[in-house]
Structure 1
Amino acid sequence: MRKNVERRAALVDAAIEVLARDGARGLTFRAVDAEAGVPVGTASNYFAKRDDLFTQAGGRIYERLQPDAATLGGMLEGPRDLARVTALLTETVGRISAFRTGYLALLELRLEATRRPGLRAVLTERVREDVEANVARHLESGMPGDATTVRLLYLTLNWLIVENLTLPEVFTEEDVRRLVADAVERSLPRQDPR
């Protein structure tokens, strides 16, 4: 297998685009080559089988969805209250929604994982790590709420993102912001104003 790291990343990014546009059945080496603008046969020189494309696309999506250092650092700035949690989660929904093809490809991968045990194992590990990292960051930050609150908000906001990306006319941008705020307000315990 070829070792050119930049070319491999470009092929994996192309696979994400193909998944989002054509679904799992459309993810072929030829389609990835065409999307990446490389000669036919290039993807098959980098990946032994389609399963490799699926698993590497899943990992790459999560890399690209991660918040940058400034966003993570910003979590520790300002008050630790409902308004701050709402702002952070609104940013998260916006950031994830901005990578529309990545999230749609991830939905395709999740469906494909029901048929591919290796992919299911990779995604299960990655999602579990992501959820637990979110829980740990939240608890370490001193923000209101516990681990269960973080998990419930994760589940709620994931479906809001799915709705927003797949049926964008259901909720307006203002509806999305309001729903994030309502989810936070209803999930977190009331703070004593004293």
Structure 2
Amino acid sequence: MEWCQVRTNPERRQALIDGAIEVLAREGARGLTFRAVDKEAAVPSGTASNYFANRDDLLTQAGARFYERLQPSPETMAQLTDGPKDRANIVELMKEVVGRIEAFRTGYLALLELRLEATRRPELRAVLTERVRADLEFNVRNHVESGMPGDETSVRLLYLALNWLIVDRLTLPGIFTEEQSIELIEAAVNRLVDDDA
């Protein structure tokens, strides 16, 4: 009876998944064990095994949790839908995205670990592919429906360019300064978003 109650405690499950994200970022996929997650989440030993069927289940849920935690704020969504319909606003929105991801550094590093792990785990690859595709299509749809300049291809190209900028900023921060990063975001928007598209 107690075991069932523990498994259905959503706050504890969330704490364990958040702990898994921290372990992935710090130790990599090889360091992700139920014991390490229990310790990170500051719960009794054996707790994670009550919530997740196996390690693959934990990996998959950690990938989904990253996207839950990285949702744009209502203010950001309002800036997209109600803000100026110009490239300057797109630049501001792209800076916000990069800043939001950099603020959740461990989450993004964990996602990189999950992507590498997905090359070896077909089920994880399927889940991540579906989730990343849905996120990208959400961004494309919102951009187009908001009436912003640019088209679907513009959004996809910005996704590709800014993701690699984020990887460099989080893994090799000495490559681009903050000022260079802002200049690159502005240049990417100005070169990839056609006002007439």
TM-score, L = length of structure 2: 0.95
Alpha-carbon distance in 1 for matches of 2:81, 2:183: 23
Aligned residues: 191
Of 171, 183, 189 in structure 1, the residue corresponding to residue 188 of structure 2 is 183
- 4+ runs deviating over 4 angstroms: none
Query: What's the counterpart of residue 68 of structure 2?
Result: 63
- The equivalent of 1:167 in structure 2 is 172
What CA distance in whole angstroms lies between the structure 1 residues aligned with 2:103 and 2:195? 31
Structure 1 match to 2:13? 8
Tell me how far apart the structure 1 counterparts of residues 122 and 46 of structure 2 sit (CA, whole Å). Answer: 27
CA distance in 2, matches of 1:129, 1:78: 24
C-alpha distance in 2, partners of 1:12/1:108? 15
Amino acid in the other structure paired with 1:93: V
Q: Of 88, 99, 120, which aligns to 1:115?
A: 120
Q: Report the equivalent of 1:43.
A: 48
TM-score (norm 1): 0.96
> 2:27 is matched by which residue type in structure 1?
D
Show the counterpart of 1:149.
Answer: 154
Aligned to 1:106: 111
- Structure 1 unaligned regions, length at least 5: none
Separation in structure 1 between the aligned mates of residue 194 and residue 143 of structure 2, nearest angstrom: 15
Contact kept, 8 Å, 2:17 with 2:65, in 1: the verdict is yes
> Percent of aligned positions with the same letter in both sequences?
69
Say if 2:86 and 2:195, in contact at 8 Å, map to a contact too. Answer: no
Deviation of the 1:169 alpha carbon:
1.1
Matches of 2:46 and 2:179, distance apart in 1:
46
- Please report how far the alpha carbon of residue 56 of structure 1 lies from its aligned counterpart in structure 2 after TM superposition: 0.2
Where 1:143 maps in the other structure, the secondary structure is coil
- Cα distance between partner residues in 2 of 1:9 and 1:78: 34
> How far 1:190 moved relative to its partner?
4.8
Matched residues in 2 for 1:189 and 1:59: separation? 33
Structural RMSD (CA): 1.0
Aligned to 2:90: 85
**AA partner of residue 46 (structure 2):** G
